[in-house]
Amino acid sequence: MTQETTIMITGAGNGIGRATLMHFAGKGWNVIGLDKDADALAELREALPREKALLLTCDVGKEGEVARAFERIDEWLDGRPIDCLVNNSGIADPYCGPLEDVELAQWQGWIDASLTAAFLVSRAAIPLLRRAETASIANISSTRAVMSEPETFAYAAAKGGLDALTHSMAVTLGPKVRVNAIRPGWIETGPWQKSAARSHPDHRDKDRDQHPVGRIGTPEDIAAAVDYLHGAGFVTGQHLNVDGGMTVKMIYEH
């Protein structure tokens, strides 16, 4: 890739988004990051060359904020394309409580942060993606799109909708733009939070043993999957589990 290759990531301030942004910045790509967390973006600005990074505070679940962000993005690109878009935004906590107690506004919060945001940002990015010789979109879904714990229905619905949006977008935008989803499993994001929220949890043996690979996932694992899918020119409309094999292992409590 040339130094003019550009990736755009939503939810770029912390966790998977932060790790993915730094992964591609380390490869010499231009990076565009959107997040509501202004403090996290300020830290990233200090770590990245100004001419190679555009970091904007934006609630990507709100149409007006997305429109204003893309005015600035188009100006900054100055005719260059976006080569890869990563729709990563979402509410990290999947637990919403009993179904009968959840208010519509709470439900809508999960849907907007992940599914509506992916629609709004993708819609705005399409003209910029089509400038590229070939472009890709990676939607960050979850294994919770296909399996659940109790009281996680809003999160699961948002990610299930994102899975459906993925295959529909792949058919709609091909062949110019390929679209895939990544389904992270248990990913420990503590080390990739902004400094005020950073942590290094010590997981139990039983936590690691749930995974056939023998460990819990890292945000770097998801960044590597984005990198793979961007280069995989014959892959589109797919849903890639990156979960250490957890979803294929039968677990019984003895």
Active-site pick, 95, 155, 228, 252: 155
Asked if 39 and 196 count as a contact pair (C-beta separation under 8 A), the reply is yes
Q: What's the token pair of residue 193?
A: 């939070």
Query: How many Cα atoms sit within 13 Å of 42 on the Cβ side?
Result: 5
Q: What radius of gyration do the chain's Cα atoms show?
A: 18
The one-letter code for the residue type at 156 is A
228 is catalytic: no
Give the closest residue to 48 by CA, choosing from 31, 72, 27, 73: 31
The stretches of the chain forming alpha helices (DSSP H) are 15-26, 38-47, 63-77, 104-111, 117-129, 153-173, 205-209, 219-231
The one-letter code for the residue type at 100 is E
Contacts of 193 (CB under 8 A, 6+ apart): 14, 15, 18, 40, 199
Q: Which residues are catalytic?
A: 155
